Amino acid sequence: MASYGLIIRNKNRQIIIDENYRNQAIRYTGFQSQTGSELGYYFADFSIACSASAVIGYKTSGWVALQRQSHSGNIRTIRLISRSPFTVQWFCFDTPTLSSKYSINYGLRIKNRVTGDLVFDSRARYLRVKLLFDAKADNQITSRVVQGVTDICVVPTQAFIGHQEEVFGATGPNHYVAWELAPFFNTPGGGTVRTQVQVYYTLDGDTGGSYLVTNFSSGGSTFLVSDISNYF
């Protein structure tokens, strides 16, 4: 049986609106500063009300990394870490919803004809992906610029790795080695994102702190960059 419905394509014939697909629209934004510190890191623990499919982006002038996140019901729980005190602005992109927050009261609205779900609202501001790239764990700072874009946010993968292993046959203060791989990023402005995937190890019992592993080149993290110019 043939199906029918509304499909809107751009000049390159790519589908940009389909009644069966809902793009992620900006729903909430807020600010979060560090809530504590431990083991040489500052961290921010916070929660955002959203669906399991929501995308969370961040804007920050300082170096931060996504250490972990989890989702239960309609709550996303997040921990960000940094080597210094920090504040981030977060952006929650979720399925579009009818809202009274829009400044205009007219436009194009599309719903799925079977479920009645809102698929598209021309008043909303949608996730605009401009760049997707991999950053390797080589401790080098990588800088990317999105041409023609003045304001961006970054969606990092949850690639923080913490690992501890026993050194075979060793005793005393160096009995265990703890590894940490953290994909840090910042957005200094002008459509620029900088990344640095750092790897540290700590000898258990040492008083000298962590040591940067400069010759570690495998692994890494993926970053998505979204244009948020003129969203607000």
Residue 199 carries which side chain, given as an amino acid letter?
A: V
Q: Taking a C-beta distance cutoff of 8 angstroms, is the pair 69, 77 a contact?
A: yes
Across-strand partners of 175? none
Of the candidate ranges 19-23, 153-157, 217-221, the one whose mean pLDDT is the lowest: 217-221
CA angle 10, 16, 18 (to 5 degrees): 125
Question: For the residues 80-92, what does the mean pLDDT come to?
Answer: 94
- Residue 178 — very low, low, confident or very high, per pLDDT cuts 50/70/90? low
Name the residue type at position 170: A
The one-letter code for the residue type at 103 is: S
pLDDT band at 215 (very low <50, low <70, confident <90, very high): very low
Residue 1 has what pLDDT? 33
pTM of the model: 0.80
Give the model confidence (pLDDT) of 137-161 as tens digits: 677 788 889 988 989 999 998 777 7
The size of the chain, in residues, is 232
Of 14, 40, 35, the closest CA to residue 212 belongs to 40
Mapped onto helix, strand or coil, the DSSP state of residue 172 is helix
- CA–CA separation, 204 vs 156, rounded Å? 30
